[in-house]
Amino acid sequence: MYQPKTIYTKVALETIINFLNGNAPELSKEKLPKELSETRNGCFVSLHKTDGSLRGCIGTIEPVEENLFKEITRNAIAAAMRDSRFSPLTLEEMDDVEISVDVLTVPEEIFDLDDLDPQIYGVIVSDGVSKRAVLLPSIPGIDTIEKQLDIVKRKAGLDHVKNKKLKLLRFTSNRYH
C-alpha cells in the first residue's frame, strides 16, 4: 500500500481509508502543524494508479473550508468518490493507488502567454460567464504553453474560443507526495 511521505498525503490517505471503511473522517490523533490547522488554501487531491494513470482528481481553486486540513479531507473524498470520469474508488484498489496533494497559491490574471510555463504555473481559463477549467502545473507530457492551453480550453468547453477573448489566470502549487 502507498506510504505517504508528508502530512498532507497522510491526511488524504487516512481520510479515504476511513471513508471507504464506513467511518466518518476524523482529525488525526497526532498534532497537526499550524500550516494545516491555521491556514486556508485551495488544494487538489490527485489519485494515480501505480502505473501513473490518473484515477481521480478533485480540488478547489480557492479555499471553501475553514482550514487546509478540512480542505484536503473534503477533496480527498471527492477525488476518490465523485470524480465523474471514474467509478468510485474501492478498498480493493487502495494497493494500486498513489496520492499527491497540490496546495495552490492565489491565482493572478495574466495578459501575455509568455507569462505561462507549464512546468511552473498551473492555468485557469474562463469565458468570464459560466465556463471555467483548471490544469495543474508540472503534469508529465505537458511541456508547452500551447499544449497546456489546448487541454485546459478543451476541459472548459472553450476550445473554439481565441485566447484573446478568454480570461487567463496562473498559479503555482506545492506538490506533496
Q: Mean pLDDT for the chain?
A: 94
Q: What does the pLDDT read at residue 23?
A: 86
What is the mean predicted confidence (pLDDT) over 35-53? 95
DSSP 177: -
Q: Measure the CA–CA gap between 124 and 143, rounded to whole angstroms.
A: 17
What is the mean predicted confidence (pLDDT) over 146-174? 96
- The amino acid occupying position 161 is V
Q: Which residue from 92, 93, 29 is spatially nearest to 55, judged by alpha carbons?
A: 93
What is the mean predicted confidence (pLDDT) over 142-149? 96
Q: What does the pLDDT read at residue 26?
A: 65
Q: Measure the CA–CA gap between 149 and 146, rounded to whole angstroms.
A: 5
Q: Which residue from 89, 94, 78 is spatially nearest to 45, judged by alpha carbons?
A: 78
Segment 51-77, tens digit of pLDDT: 999 999 999 999 999 999 999 999 999
56 close to 86: Cβ distance less than 8 angstroms: yes
Q: Identify the band that residue 123 occupies on the pLDDT scale cut at 50, 70 and 90.
A: very high
The edge-to-edge listing of strands for the beta sheet with 54-59 is 54-59, 43-49, 97-104, 173-176
Q: Measure the CA–CA gap between 49 and 67, rounded to whole angstroms.
A: 28
Segment 5-37, tens digit of pLDDT: 999 999 999 999 999 999 876 665 567 888 899
Tell me the percentage of the chain whose pLDDT exceeds 70.
97
Residue 105 pLDDT greater than 90, yes or no: yes
What is the mean predicted confidence (pLDDT) over 72-97? 97
Q: What does the pLDDT read at residue 33?
A: 87
